[in-house]
Amino acid sequence: MRAPRFFEWQEQRWLPRYFRHGITHYLRKLFVGFNIYSPVAPLLAHLIKQTHRTKLWDFCSGSGGMLPEIQTSLRENHQIETDITFTDKFPNCDDLVALCKSAPESLHFKAEAIDALHHDQPTSAIRTFFTAFHHFNEKDATQILK
């Protein structure tokens, strides 16, 4: 059974940047406020220890999601230092600049549009997709997983 695909305003090229960024900003505040990704840190810590990869490339980052909070948890609870790069097809540079200023040595973003299907991200990094995989149809999702 295929998962239903829903209309999302922020995916529309015609949507003014102000509205798109407002949506991603709101989503980050929601994720942080409810701490919905806190269970991810121990899983990610386990993966990092297995692979010895501490660089993360996050796709479809929007305004940064929960990765800064996950990074803090990895540092404080698992003694793991990470280096995170945020990417997005429609990057919210205003929010990402402010976010990366909080840890300029370990948080970075790509200001140019990065399409998760066509990118030159280093294969030595762990690739993450948080609350974003549903944006892809079955064919594209399979390509990403390969």
Query: What is the average pLDDT score of the chain?
Result: 85
Please tell me which residue, 28 or 118, carries the higher pLDDT value.
Answer: 118
Distance CA 119, CA 36 (A): 28
Distance CA 88, CA 63 (A): 9
| Residue 110 confidence (pLDDT) | 93
| Residue 6 confidence (pLDDT) | 61
| Residue 4 confidence (pLDDT) | 60
Residue 5 banded pLDDT, cuts 50, 70, 90: low
Once rounded to an integer, what is the mean pLDDT over residues 44-48? 97
Burial of 97 (0-12, 13-18, 19+ CB in 10 A): exposed
pLDDT tens digits for 60-105? 888 887 889 899 999 999 999 999 999 998 888 988 999 899 888 9
Please tell me which residue, 130 or 58, carries the higher pLDDT value.
Answer: 58
Burial of 124 (0-12, 13-18, 19+ CB in 10 A): exposed
Distance CA 99, CA 103 (A): 8
| Residue 7 confidence (pLDDT) | 60
- What is the pTM (predicted TM-score) of this model? 0.81
